[in-house]
Amino acid sequence: MLEQFIELKTRQLIFYASRFFRGQLPHHELHLFIWDTLEEWGQFGIQLKTPQNLREQVFWHLMHQLEFWPEHQLKSDQVLQHNLLNCLSFLRGKGQLPLDCVGIRP
């Protein structure tokens, strides 16, 4: 059940974040997706903070980064965008594990 949740939410995160970076999704929609996902995650009641695998680690890292940085920085900071797009590539199965990717469960 947990693996299915992460897999589903990873596909959805790829969808939302990709469209945001292409200018096809408003920031508030991305924000709502992240908070809805966190609310659903909270229903699992999992106490273990360590992700089960690298894919889940990158998932949580990307979720945190997208929520942490303000919209203007996500849109204008090219180094930040490059790092986050590397995370998306990894989640798509097309890239390598991003450097400095520290993802833990909420």
pLDDT in tens, 90-103: 999 998 998 889 99
* pLDDT value of residue 1: 87
Instruction: Give the Cβ contact number of residue 85 at 10 Å.
Output: 15
- Is residue 97 domain-resident? no
Q: In terms of residue numbers, what domain contains 21?
A: 2-92
pLDDT in tens, 2-40: 999 999 999 999 999 999 999 999 999 999 999 999 999
Q: How many domains does the chain have?
A: 1
- Is residue 6 domain-resident? yes
Instruction: Give the Cβ contact number of residue 17 at 10 Å.
Output: 24
Helix 54-68, helix 78-92: angle, nearest 10: 150
Backbone phi and psi for residue 29, each to the nearest 5 degrees, phi listed first = -70, -40
- Is residue 36 domain-resident? yes
Q: pTM score, two decimals?
A: 0.95
- Is residue 72 domain-resident? yes
